[in-house]
């Protein structure tokens, strides 16, 4: 069984009928959109989405920094004659 990762849910029918009401009831929370009691989509408020994108950018940047650091500081075999 698939977990529902939000405190608020709405069926696709409810969303089609009154999207504004669904958004108002959820406030700043994520809404799981259900199709036959299975989460088929998540409706994410713009502030939450923007924060998620910033976090993703930070994560990808941190990952890139780590990879480059590992390339620069990777131990290498050096012969004394090469020095």
Domain annotation covers residue 18: yes
Domain annotation covers residue 82: no
Domain annotation covers residue 3: no
pLDDT (tens digit per residue) in 35-68: 999 999 999 999 999 999 999 999 999 999 988 8
Give 50: exposed, middle or buried? Use CB within 10 Å, 0-12, 13-18, 19+. exposed
Residue 71 pLDDT more than 90? Answer: no
Domain annotation covers residue 38: yes
Domain CATH number, residue 48: 3.40.1620
Structure tokens of 31? 């809404």
**Model pTM score:** 0.72
Domain annotation covers residue 59: yes
Domain that holds residue 35: 8-73
Residue 81 pLDDT more than 90? Answer: no
How many domains, in total, are found in the chain?
Answer: 1
């Amino acid at each position: 069984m698939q977990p529902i990762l939000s405190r608020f849910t709405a069926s696709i029918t409810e969303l089609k009928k009154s999207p504004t009401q669904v958004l108002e009831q959820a406030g700043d929370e994520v809404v799981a959109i259900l199709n036959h009691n299975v989460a088929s989509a998540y409706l994410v408020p713009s502030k939450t989405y923007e924060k998620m994108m910033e976090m993703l950018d930070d994560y990808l940047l941190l990952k890139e920094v780590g990879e480059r650091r590992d390339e620069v500081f990777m131990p290498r075999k050096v012969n004394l004659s090469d020095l």
